[in-house]
Structure 1
């Protein structure tokens, strides 16, 4: 049976992932996830006012009434058990949290709260609305690529990562074995593989962009291979021109690969595209590891590789791996406890507490116990661990309004007519100029 969750934008790691097959026993007897009360609005429990209750740490969470809320409570309980500091969880439903985040941060934000790495973190850091947590770093077991994703424009850290999932090129191991295919490491090898798959009656790339955001992953991959990670981040931040030769080269490369993609993709959801990979009708799929939702009975046949190198001078060391984690209020009531809690949230102990809830989870810390991970989880962790640079996915690395009102329709226009690149990039740049204003 297939599962079809609906996402209006790229899904959060806390909403998708690989189920953990085994649960930790080390904390099972110690933890009891408390009931989480949904609050009617995004109001802190007392953090951020500079003069509240300093014996209790307030913890803002963007999930209610689900296993994800239980996970946050379990981690809070584990921290209390270890430190003696009480943690008051302020759980608000996801949409309310997202829609009111600016007001929340400008008002009475909790000492620690859930948020995202990348542009969405840097945006509020630059406004002075979240706290500098550089002194929490380095974090044991958390690689430098995650630190880079946690760093603001001023070079300071404002974020602590906890979990993630990578985007990659997925395939069925059995299809590769039956046809003698090998994993490509260069663009030429990828094209040869696609031609071979087409000759064998397969559609090389499954592709579905009905929801608008899946195609962003392909753009990200190609841009980071053609122009490099630094250019990609500057482009997402509005600092590079969309109508320059660099971005044109991205669309030209993608145009050359488009004949290997499923046609009529704008009428197909990512789940429907994934099902063609599941049925062995297509051979490859660029997506996040939540793809496994469409393989409930044969996930073990799924494997992945990083998008191949295009320019040898740039290589293939940058990937998309959206990261969920935590920030600190700009003015926490309990700054010392907040920093201790943040360090704990990135630890193997917090990962163990989270997994007592059975949450889909890949820890940002390579010291976390992975004995219960599936083969796909382990391969995902290995892929991210080898990456030198981690992007957060297009709609997290740029302004949300730019991603939704400009990039989604522009990429869908490109998919419909991949030959009209000049007009496309001129249109994107013109609209960018009206959105990225000082």
Structure 2
């Protein structure tokens, strides 16, 4: 398959045909620049495979998997997939090395430069291409030759700057404002369409004894989602693309407007957020102490299957500027990559072909109803109401981004934006100083 010859062709094929809407979609494709890798303490201990054959022979032995799915629900889902893989492939076994999600992400550079597992879980976007360009990921183009049910755009989203594939998609999920239907019904709330309506709703929620927006940023990355949503609403998708790619100034009026808007919403956010994980914030929503929560649909992992998950739904982040609209969303794609020199290459590629299949993804989305399969041939008949709404939500979007820490340089996201946003949350008064500092560091990093 050749890559799309025009942006329009790319936009038309972003999501699988079964979820494709009438409007066009885009996936954030910031230009990948040169740069240095982070120096961080290595917390990721890789375990090698038990030999196996080369890629040209039959696959045998053990395939090791570096997994960032440390929470109970996705961890069980991945285990179910690996169990099914082993059952279907005599002579192959799998060993999952699970690391806390945040530790995995923040220490991925040293992990890849050491002795990584044969296969490791990651995501589409800037960082995937960044690692491929640094020679830290294996070429899986031959795996893609036998993958069925993947759209052309998903292949493009899995492709490095050299035109080769380095990623196999498994699932995706949208970011939005989540809430419990029963809470909205109890108080007679309606979904806000504009920011002013959202502020009015927040005021009423406070009167009713609720936290308007559950919030936890102890791990640094969740609040990036708030910035992304506001930037998409205040300045539009193209500016967001260019800002993440280092092409726009962080100390200009447009970015200042984002932080000014956010400052006006902080009193709606749950207090003391820097000491709270996203799971703890989700508990506030689950216990009906908070009215809404801006997060990915993986928030459903914190709700019991059945009636409790069926009570969970969401609305699109409200419009801020009618000239910009609210048709740009974030829907990150998760999947797998292969080590540059896996100890069991044949086994690794066999596994990658399986996790990209409809059979494997059917197992994942059944075990973890917070995500949606990327394979067009996956069975949607058993989808929960949340999964069905997620499919429709993504299908109707005009533009789709991945997420700040996936869509920009890893060194910029980790060393600059995490402390900058947390500093803003603690002290939102010096926005000029904040954005000037971000811009100064951005210039240094993107120039390297």
TM-score (norm 1): 0.73
Partner Cα distance (2:366, 2:436) in 1: 51
Partner Cα distance (1:434, 1:420) in 2: 22
Contact 1:105–1:130 at 8 Å: present in 2 too?
Answer: no
Which consecutive residues of structure 1, in runs of 5 or more, have no partner in the other structure? Answer: 1-38
2:389 match: 379
2:48 match: 43
Partner Cα distance (2:116, 2:262) in 1: 46
2:260 match: 252
Which consecutive residues of structure 2, in runs of 5 or more, have no partner in the other structure? Answer: 1-43
2:85 match: 76
1:391 match: 401
Q: How far did residue 69 of structure 1 move?
A: 5.5
Q: Name which of 331, 337, 340 aligns with 1:327.
A: 337
1:54 match: 57
1:219 match: 227
Match status 1:303 vs 2:346: no
2:193 match: 185
Distance 1:269 1:133, change over 3 A: same
What's the secondary structure of 1:427's corresponding residue? helix
Match status 1:238 vs 2:242: no
Q: Name which of 103, 124, 127 aligns with 1:117.
A: 124
2:16 match: none
Contact 2:55–2:346 at 8 Å: present in 1 too?
Answer: no
Q: How far did residue 185 of structure 1 move?
A: 2.8
Cα RMSD (Å) of the superposition? 4.0
Contact 1:67–1:359 at 8 Å: present in 2 too?
Answer: no
Partner Cα distance (1:116, 1:327) in 2: 8
Partner Cα distance (1:46, 1:433) in 2: 45
Partner Cα distance (1:358, 1:365) in 2: 16
What is the CA deviation profile of residues 121-162 of structure 1, one whole-angstrom value per residue up to 9, with x for unaligned ones? 110222344326399389655456645543434666432210
Distance 1:355 1:275, change over 3 A: closer
Distance 1:76 1:185, change over 3 A: same
What is the CA deviation profile of residues 266-300 of structure 1, one whole-angstrom value per residue up to 9, with x for unaligned ones? 34443443343334443211122333344437232
Of the structure 1 ranges 329-338 and 340-349, higher mean CA displacement relative to structure 2 is found in: 329-338
1:67 match: 76
Distance 1:101 1:53, change over 3 A: farther
Q: How does 1:169-208 map to 2 (within 5 A)?
A: 169-208=177-216
Distance 1:356 1:288, change over 3 A: closer
TM-score (norm 2): 0.71
Contact 2:370–2:386 at 8 Å: present in 1 too?
Answer: no
Distance 1:272 1:108, change over 3 A: closer
